[in-house]
Amino acid sequence: MKLTTTKRLERLHDRYVNGGLSRRTFLTLTAAGAASTGLSMPWMGRALAAVEEVRFDGWGGVVQDAIDKYAFQPYTAKTKIKVVQGTFGGENEIITKIKTAKPGDFQVVHSSGLNYYLKYVNNGMNSEINEANIPNMANVMQAMIEPFRKLTPKLSAVPYDYGTTGIAFNTKVISPEEAKEKGAGLLLDKKYAGKIGGYADMDTRVWYAALATGQDPNDIKDMDIIWAKVREMRDLVKKFWSSGAELMDLLSKGEIVVTDAWSGRVLALQDQGHPIGYLDPPGSLAWMEDMLILKGSPMAECEELINFMLDPVTAIAVAEGQGYPPSLDPTKVKLTEKIAKLPAFDPTGMMKSLTFGDPVYWTTNADTWTKQWDRISKGA
């Protein structure tokens, strides 16, 4: 009897590990089999230990508020698993924390797409998702999934939303016509010295310097000109902001009148009645965000959470709440009129009209460029 039960428990364990059983079914069947014979397998203590919470780290502000309200709270009500939340400004901040933490201390990160995905992979922080546990991935745009799969055939992340970093401007000071005429050059207009803002990260500074100098951000030929433009902007800015909440605060209070900005945060300001316009100049930086599961995480629970977040009802509610289009393919899932009007929304599901950073190119240059940006930001 015990031999038969042992074999059965091993088969159940193999099916669970390979994605053939949900965690709840596995726990129910395993507990019943073990109880009937008094058996204890080497892996049972760990496998049967109830996971009561999942750790999530994101960008805070209106974005995380929307995720919490429309995804995490309903998920906890349904599963009784609590989502413990942390926030960060720049993603390099959370990567530094993960490097010094134990595996499993950080679990799910709302990450900034391909460039950062490659950083996690290169640092050995990535997991391997069992896609069978996330059936709602079938509704995600293949144009978003495939770039991740090219980097790691076994995914560690699932695309969740996307947007652009364009130009935000105060319409009481700058007209839409002026913004369109000057494009990326508006960030270097001496007329607005001391009233200009910008995101305090290397990628955005180099990208917009490339646009201002007529270069391809994914194939820059003259970095000396790039750094000269970055210094020029540094001397004009009121402040380089480091979070979406800070961006919104600076714009809403009129401390800055023009800045590069995240499309969803600008939409939130517009919805609040602030006189803020938004422009995506040619070549403006488009980005995809993903839900990244880190190595050492409770995989089944994290996969269950992400599957819940990708449910069309949940994903649509989050998208409307945070102001960024969801990763759901609009040719497969009927999206709302409100989502169709969001900045950067792609109705084709192909994403060919958006300009994304080449992850290999940018990651290859990241260390050198980041060191130079750090020096310039400190006054060099």
Residue 288 pLDDT > 80: yes
Residue 19 pLDDT > 90: no
Token pair 């599957």 in the structure block, residue: 307
User: How far is the CA of 20 from the CAs of 13, 15, 24, 241, in angstroms?
Assistant: 10, 5, 12, 46
pLDDT band at 24 (very low <50, low <70, confident <90, very high): low
Residue 327 pLDDT > 70: yes
Quick one: average pLDDT of 291-310? 97
Q: What is the pLDDT of residue 11?
A: 72
Residue 72 pLDDT > 90: yes
Least confident window among 43-57, 157-171, 197-211: 43-57
User: How far is the CA of 62 from the CAs of 10, 20, 258, 265, 268, in angstroms?
Assistant: 46, 37, 21, 8, 8
Interacting residues of 105 by C-beta distance below 8 A, sequence separation 6+: 55, 98, 296
CA angle 251–253–255, rounded 5-degree value: 70
Q: What is the pLDDT of residue 89?
A: 84
Please tell us whether the domain made up of 53-162+288-356 is placed in CATH 3.40.190.10. yes
Instruction: For 73-121, write each residue's pLDDT tens digit.
Output: 999 999 999 999 999 988 999 999 999 999 999 999 999 999 999 999 9
Quick one: average pLDDT of 314-324? 96
Q: Which amino acid is at 123?
A: N
pLDDT band at 54 (very low <50, low <70, confident <90, very high): very high
Quick one: average pLDDT of 138-166? 97
Instruction: For 270-283, write each residue's pLDDT tens digit.
Output: 999 999 999 999 99
Q: What is the pLDDT of residue 51?
A: 80
Interatomic CA distance for residues 318 and 70, integer angstroms: 6
Pick from 329, 264, 360, 259: nearest CA to 59: 264
Name the helix (H) or strand (E) containing 48: helix 44-48
Residue 26 pLDDT > 60: no
Cβ atoms within 10 Å of 193's Cβ, excluding its own: 12
Class of the CATH domain delimited by 163-286+359-377: alpha beta
The rounded mean pLDDT for the chain is 91
Cβ atoms within 10 Å of 160's Cβ, excluding its own: 26
DSSP labels for 8-47?
HHHHHHHHHHTTSS-HHHHHHHHHHHHHHHT---TTHHHH
% of the chain beyond a pLDDT of 70: 87
| Cα radius of gyration (the chain) | 23
pLDDT band at 6 (very low <50, low <70, confident <90, very high): low
Q: What is the pLDDT of residue 2?
A: 47
Question: Can you tell me whether residue 153 is helix, strand or coil?
Answer: coil
Which two three-digit tokens encode residue 209? 């310097």
Instruction: For 234-250, write each residue's pLDDT tens digit.
Output: 999 999 999 999 999 99
Quick one: average pLDDT of 155-177? 97
Instruction: For 195-224, write each residue's pLDDT tens digit.
Output: 999 999 999 999 999 999 999 999 999 999
